[in-house]
A and B are shown apart, each in its own frame.
Chain A
Amino acid sequence: MFASMTLALEQLERLGIPRQLEASYSPEDAISVLRGQARDSTVIDVVHGKLALNAGGRLMDLLIRDAGELGWLRERISVRTLLFGESSASFLSFSDDSHAILVSRALQESLVGMANLLIYLDVATGLAKISSLRRRKRQKASQECIGRVTAALRYLLLGQRMTGRAPRTPMALDEESFQFAGQIAIGAVMFVIAHEIAHIVHDHTESSTQAYKEEGGASVSEAQELQADSWALGLLMRLLSIDSHEPGGTPGTEVALWSAFTAIFATQITEKAIYVRRSRTHPEAWARWAVLEKQVPEAEEKADSLRLAFMMSAAGAMSFGEEFPDELWPSLQTDPMLGIEEEINLAKLRYWDGLNSGPLDQLVSETDSSLTADGRALVGALREGDLADSLGGIGTPNPRLERILDPSLALEFSTLKRGFGKISPTHTTGDPDAFAVVATRLAAVHLEGGFSP
């Protein structure tokens, strides 16, 4: 096998990924990783490394079995977890017709966390519904569950904005729920890999934001993404339907749909919240989901309700223009199934939330007294919308400034915040985080206008 994909395997070695994963792990290790509770980075690396390898292997086996014309892929594609870097999934193609698909550990962790939250919502709202409370109280209890998931998602988004990485979401689901969450998380990793295989199969070699049709509408890349999603869901449904032939198993179509939903929303639910400006390479999650949903004729009403509840939670978490309901935060520590990183306590979350969602004018006034002369000049220029001047300090060398100002490129909040954070010692005598967030929000007012749907 290796002889036929030499270049792909060589590339994996350059990335520090061995050809064979020798290390092993215990079932307890896997459970702690899938529950988001593991702390040992080596264990997390091993479990995630095997996750993509096994998921890729199963998809390839299915291709050989079901689609003879695509059987060649088995000998040509190598799937691995990229153990460092930010959330991403990508593929490389080489001159010997070999390909490498890389899913980052950060993305896999995000898929696991989102699957657990989704099942938490299912369990918690289900418990509320079957309780002996009267109808109105049951509805209130269900809404409280949605509120708790909103708080958990807000925690994830704030963590990403402020630290540049998604924080852990340790969770304690009951055994049966955890099993289902695990199935969905693994299915979501498979969906991402199948999506990348689809790009290879359909020869999608480069991103392009040119219009797909002359009359405008979706870009070429957006159309390709929808095609890849659709192909990936078809493959996943076939694979999981085979698995679900075991008695008592959840129907494969259902697990495949939940997996695709989790993958798409885990990757992009945060997009509007953590991106100052999005690009036109990928359609929004809502559009991607709408296309996939049509592929399955009839979804159960209960499943639709749960997805709607999850989308409502997401919409609430993403609304940085509104102050977050303070009473929702304590549930992250008092609910026995939910959890947050110890280093991020509720006081820090409330402070971060105030910086990110408080009235901007008020925050500018509050931070003004601690600005140095340079800081005051910068904030003044940002308020005026003089981006070339005000971003010059964080945008050097020049190509970086050009990228920041380029309306076709996606720009994360945390990238700007990092830049302002670096210059904060000469611009403020106060809290560097407060300065960086205020400056980022001021810049974002002008930069986000660069994207026009």
Chain B
Amino acid sequence: MSLEPNPALELYIGMDDETLLAELEGALLGRGPGFGPSDVDQAVRFASDWLDQRTEEFRQLLCGNVRVRLEHGGGLDKLTDAAVVADALQALLGKPTAYIVAVILLRRGLNGLCDTAGH
């Protein structure tokens, strides 16, 4: 994991929740012209649904060692936490999707993701 300055990650940390979801949709489906118009909230709805579908995979990747590092690693700041989570997600999601998802999941709280039945 690199602890070098990461401007892309910092940019995503500065975004509000819905802008992040719209960014996630763009990263997943592209920003080029489609076949018809698309509604202002369509991107947010798509990204939310996609995140919900991948919840179990995120749990498996993040609710073990990664969560422990965040809880007990001692004073990791927001950017470093995001870098740790993004690093864990990168093989699965690639960049920049891993960055965006890391910021969203951290903002929602890993406890919420991990403290459910079976974990």
A→B interface (CB under 8 Å): 10-11, 14-16, 82, 84-93, 100, 102, 107, 192, 195-196, 199, 204-207, 221, 224-225, 228, 263, 267-268, 271, 275, 278-279, 281-282, 397-400, 403-404, 406, 409-412, 415, 418
* Complex alpha-carbon distance, A235 and B93, angstroms: 35
| Residues of A close to B17: CB separation below 8 A | 397
* Complex alpha-carbon distance, A88 and B34, angstroms: 7
B→A interface (CB under 8 Å): 16-19, 28-42, 44-46, 49-50, 53-54, 92-94, 97
| Residues of B close to A221: CB separation below 8 A | 33
| Residues of A close to B28: CB separation below 8 A | 11, 14-15
In this complex, what residue of B is CB-closest to A410?
B37
Chain A contact residues, majority secondary structure: mixed
Give 15 A-B pairs besides A82-B29, A92-B30, A281-B33 with Cβ atoms closer than 8 angstroms.
A10-B94, A11-B28, A85-B50, A86-B45, A90-B32, A91-B32, A204-B33, A278-B37, A279-B37, A397-B17, A400-B40, A406-B40, A409-B40, A412-B41, A415-B39
Contact pick for B29, options A87, A90, A207, A400, CB 8 Å? A90
Are the CB atoms of B36 and A84 closer together than 8 Å? no
Are the CB atoms of B16 and A399 closer together than 8 Å? yes
| Residues of A close to B37: CB separation below 8 A | 268, 271, 275, 278-279, 281-282, 410
Are the CB atoms of B40 and A15 closer together than 8 Å? no
Are the CB atoms of B29 and A92 closer together than 8 Å? yes
Are the CB atoms of A14 and B92 closer together than 8 Å? yes
| Residues of A close to B42: CB separation below 8 A | 86, 88, 412, 415
Of all A-B residue pairs in the complex, the 8 with the closest CB atoms, nearest first, are A92-B30, A89-B35, A412-B39, A410-B37, A267-B36, A403-B40, A90-B34, A85-B46
| Residues of A close to B32: CB separation below 8 A | 90-93, 199, 204-207
| Residues of A close to B40: CB separation below 8 A | 400, 403-404, 406, 409-412, 415
Are the CB atoms of A86 and B33 closer together than 8 Å? no
* Complex alpha-carbon distance, A100 and B36, angstroms: 18
Are the CB atoms of A14 and B35 closer together than 8 Å? no
With contacts A92-B29, A399-B16, A404-B40 taken as known, whether A14 is within 8 angstroms of B34 at the C-beta atoms is no
| Residues of B close to A14: CB separation below 8 A | 28, 92-94, 97
Are the CB atoms of B29 and A84 closer together than 8 Å? no
CB distance from A397 to the nearest CB of B (A): 5
| Residues of B close to A406: CB separation below 8 A | 40
| 7 A/B residue pairs, CB under 8 Å, sorted by A | A204-B33, A205-B32, A224-B33, A225-B33, A267-B35, A410-B40, A415-B41
CB distance from A202 to the nearest CB of B (A): 10
* Complex alpha-carbon distance, A195 and B32, angstroms: 12
Are the CB atoms of B34 and A397 closer together than 8 Å? no
* Complex alpha-carbon distance, A267 and B17, angstroms: 30
